[in-house]
Amino acid sequence: MAMNSEVKIRIEKLHKIFGPHPEKALKMLGDGLDKETIFQRTGTTVGVHDASFDILEGEIFVVMGLSGSGKSTLVRMLNRLIQPTSGKVLIDGQDVATMSDAELLEVRRKKMSMVFQSFALMPHMTVLENAAFGLEMAGVDKVTRSERALEALSQVGLDAYMDSRPDELSGGMQQRVGLARGLAVDPDVLLMDEAFSALDPLIRAEMQDELLNLQEKHRRTIVFISHDLDEAMRIGDRIAIMEGGCVVQVGTPEEILQNPANDYVEAFFRGVDATQILSAKDIARKTQVTLIRHPGDGPRAALQRLAQHDRDYGYVLDAKQRLLGVVSAEGLHSVIEDGGDSKDISRAFIEEASVVQSTASMQEILPEVTARPWPVPVVDEQGRYLGAVSKNLFLKTLQRSHARQNGTEEVAP
Amino acid sequence: MKWLTFDEQTIPLDDWVQDGIDWLVENYREVFQSLKVPIEKTLEGLEWIFHSLPPVVVILLFVVLAWRFGGKRLAGFTAGSFLLVGNLGMWTDAMTTLSMVICSVVFCALMGIPLGIMSGRSDRFEVLLRPVLDAMQTTPPFVYLVPVVMLFSIGTVSGILATIIFALPPLIRLTSLGIRQVHPELVEAAVSFGANPWQVLRKVQLPLAMPSVMAGLNQTIMMALSMVVIAALIGAGGLGGPVVQGLNTLDIGLATIGGLSIVLLAMVLDRITQGFKK
């Protein structure tokens, strides 16, 4: 997803080493030694190794990885629940890793809040008091904080439960309170650490929708930790994949699905239904003949170009790359024969030829691709031609993702 | 090689301690005497209250507390116990003991809860404190009774001091345990919302450690009551008096009514403070 947003959080060469001699371990990392060797020699554990990436304002940025890959450590360095060993965490240009304690408290109280996997609600407080917790820490007076907490609770549909205790609520409801607690302080950045992982699948999907809804109404920067690929695909604008403390790839779900950086990333995407994730623009290729419509260019010129490239179909564009129509060699022939020296190519346009939008999934364009003998043209919102999807191309993409899914399951005879 | 045959004592620790205490008594007795002033004043106040209140009022007060924290049955038991103690002729001694116990528990709480919090929040402090607590709990009270008397002279206040030494450790330990039992995720959540250490303690750790702290207070009360007889040996008044006197004169009847009164008082205080936890 192309976004013209500004960088909200910039992470630069961030390291976290747990254990007694972080400097030694850092040096050994610099010398190219791996985690296991370093652990054996120094007794230190590399939590996060050399992470650098940007998180953009208003996006949902998912950090994905297996347990032990360092994703929880990484997110805890964003609000310095864990002190980084080295590197920078710049939030609006301010380095969290080195700021004073007073500044850090301000950032935690006003700019960032966190939602936890285990909900971490205070059992001795009511739902309302829990939602107001961040505001209470910030010293907001009781009336105001109750008001704002109630507003946050109503955003997640729990205002009626304000006087209940957390243990009287179901898991899903408890996490809504956790979410309300995060929202009540009106933060720029919401950190969500496996926030929905403890919920059962139905409730989880519901919470994901809820989060997307909230995001629709009020865009925040959300850093979402997950080990669940479906979740990452569903809610993530961009995904960072972590392995053994390293960030191995950052990109949109489509980018990562199409070009996995290594086997680890690929393994993650095994079992993912490519037809749901890939959209028309991801697979469209500009290998077809395009004909720019110029005054004076007629059917004859078009036919000649098709013959040159040995193609049966051509795509007619205007000067701004907008698709005007699809022509076939056959159609051009008959126009030439009928109208003698007619200059109007539009008479040769195939009437049934329709376009598909760039964002349509492979699943959605399948009927069109199979029904037409010509490659189906793909256009963006402005009607500009992005390429075409042939049956051949479609099948090849399917085959590739299928091979990837079954890659390791193939047993030698 | 005298130190490997063990024929004779080679480390005169006993003499050193003796000399040390003598030196302290000689040079710093006034300091220790002034240390006991706050305890003395508190005790005087408590004794004045319990001795000047008509017994009916004291009984009513405890019955109401029992009702509030334990329910009807405990209220009945409390009324019965106090009436029995009064009719055994032990009322005045019982009120002295009650003042002593409350005074000990107040000072135990003033010292024990902060120490327990510190030890709950700092591993290093806990490691340093642990042997001290072990010594306080396992040293027989008779061992420190004499130095306490030498430094603070004979009387009820010395009895209270000995009681504090004996009854303080469980409160510290249970407070520390309560703080440590607070789920780290809750502390982390509080910190992530910008709580400073004081806010973490006051808003999260202490409220959640309260049941454990209350259990510690309850233990302290029970241990304070069990010290009543030993304290009587160094001149503390109260229900320990008749027991000691009974033992000395082989008056088993007197010792029994003193002992029974202590047990009844202990049961009432125990049940009421158990109710605090809820």
pLDDT digits (tens, 9 = 90+) for A347-359: 788 888 888 888 8
Which residues of chain B approach chain A closer than 8 Å at the C-beta?
A: 183, 185-186, 188-196, 199, 203-204, 207-208
Instruction: Flag if A133 and B199 touch (Cβ within 8 Å).
Output: no
The region of weakest confidence among A31-45, A168-182, B69-83 is A31-45
Instruction: Flag if B208 and A124 touch (Cβ within 8 Å).
Output: yes
Q: What is the pLDDT of residue A154?
A: 92
Per the model's pLDDT, the better-predicted residue between A94 and A413 turns out to be: A94
Task: Determine contact, residues B91/B54, Cβ cutoff 8 Å.
Answer: no
Q: Best interface-test mutation with A: which of B185, B193, B278 has the largest number of A CBs within 10 A?
A: B193
Residue B137, burial from CB neighbour count under 10 angstroms (0-12, 13-18, 19+): middle
From A116, A122, A134, residue closest to B194, measured CB to CB: A134
Task: Please list every residue in chain A whose beta carbon sits closer than 8 Å to the beta carbon of residue B204.
Answer: 122
Count the domains in chain B. Answer: 1
pLDDT mean over A93-119: 92
The region of weakest confidence among A151-155, A316-320, B86-90, B174-178 is A316-320
Q: From the CA of B203, how many Å to the nearest CA of chain A?
A: 9
Q: What are the residues whose beta carbons fall under 8 Å from the beta carbon of B70, sequence distance 6 or more?
A: B271, B272, B274, B275
CA distance B262 to B100: 13
Instruction: Flag if B189 and A116 touch (Cβ within 8 Å).
Output: yes
Any domain includes B25: no
Interface contacts A/B by beta carbons within 8 Å: 57
Q: Best interface-test mutation with B: which of A108, A118, A137, A167 has the largest number of B CBs within 10 A?
A: A137
pLDDT at A6 over 80: yes
State both tokens at A226.
Answer: 């997950």
Any domain includes B108: yes
Domains of chain A listed by start with CATH number: 7-277 (3.40.50.300), 281-397 (3.10.580.10)
- Give CB contacts under 8 A, 24+ apart, made by A249-252: A250/A53, A252/A1
Instruction: Flag if B190 and A79 touch (Cβ within 8 Å).
Output: no
pLDDT at A232 over 90: no
Q: Best interface-test mutation with A: which of B185, B186, B192, B210 has the largest number of A CBs within 10 A?
A: B192
CA distance A165 to A182: 18
pLDDT at A342 over 80: no
pLDDT at A240 over 90: yes
Residue A55's DSSP bridge partners are A9
Distances from the Cα of A9 to the Cα of A61, A89, A245, B215, angstroms: 11, 7, 19, 48
pLDDT at B52 over 80: yes
Distances from the Cα of A277 to the Cα of A263, A286, A385, B61, angstroms: 19, 21, 21, 74
pLDDT at A3 over 50: no
Q: What is the pLDDT of residue B45?
A: 95
pLDDT at A271 over 70: no
Overall size of chain B counted in residues: 278
Task: Please list every residue in chain B whose beta carbon sits closer than 8 Å to the beta carbon of residue A124.
Answer: 207-208
Q: What is the pLDDT of residue A409?
A: 40
Residue A385's DSSP bridge partners are A379
CA distance A241 to A375: 35
Any domain includes B21: no
Any domain includes B68: yes
DSSP H stretches of helix in chain B: 2-5, 13-35, 37-52, 55-70, 72-87, 91-121, 123-138, 141-152, 156-181, 184-192, 197-199, 206-226, 228-233, 240-248, 252-276
Per the model's pLDDT, the better-predicted residue between A44 and B204 turns out to be: B204
Percent of chain A beyond pLDDT 90?
A: 37
Per the model's pLDDT, the better-predicted residue between B85 and A311 turns out to be: B85
pLDDT tens by residue, A204-227: 888 898 899 889 888 999 999 998
CA distance A306 to A302: 6
Any domain includes B17: no
CA distance A287 to A311: 10
When the pLDDT of each residue in chain B is averaged and rounded to a whole number, the result is 92
CA distance B270 to B247: 26
Any domain includes B1: no
Task: Determine contact, residues B55/B200, Cβ cutoff 8 Å.
Answer: no
Q: What is the pLDDT of residue A355?
A: 85
Task: Please list every residue in chain A whose beta carbon sits closer than 8 Å to the beta carbon of residue B195.
Answer: 137
pLDDT at B178 over 90: yes
pLDDT tens by residue, B237-249: 899 999 999 989 9
pLDDT tens by residue, A287-326: 788 887 776 677 888 888 888 888 888 888 887 888 888 8
CA distance A162 to A224: 26
CA distance A156 to A131: 11
Instruction: Flag if A108 and B191 touch (Cβ within 8 Å).
Output: yes
Quick check: helix, strand or coil at residue A349?
Answer: strand
Task: Determine contact, residues A108/B192, Cβ cutoff 8 Å.
Answer: yes
Longest dimension (CA), chain A: 89
Task: Please list every residue in chain B whose beta carbon sits closer than 8 Å to the beta carbon of residue A109.
Answer: 193-194
pLDDT mean over B191-207: 94
Any domain includes B13: no
CA distance A374 to A97: 57
Q: What is the pLDDT of residue A75?
A: 93
Q: What is the pLDDT of residue A187?
A: 93
Amino acid in position A96: V
What CATH code is carried by the domain that includes residue B252?
A: 1.10.3720.10
When the pLDDT of each residue in chain A is averaged and rounded to a whole number, the result is 85
Q: What is the pLDDT of residue B269?
A: 93
Any domain includes B26: no
Q: What is the pLDDT of residue A413?
A: 34
Q: Which domain holds residue B70?
A: 33-276
Among A397, A404, A71, CA closest to A268? A404
Residue with tokens 């205007």: A318
- Is ipTM strictly over 0.90? no
pLDDT at B82 over 50: yes
Q: What is the pLDDT of residue A106?
A: 92
Q: From the CA of B206, how many Å to the nearest CA of chain A?
A: 11
Backbone angles phi, psi at A364, to 5 degrees: -70, -30
What confidence tier does A228 reach under pLDDT thresholds 50, 70, 90? confident
The region of weakest confidence among A115-129, A319-333, B186-200, B251-265 is A319-333
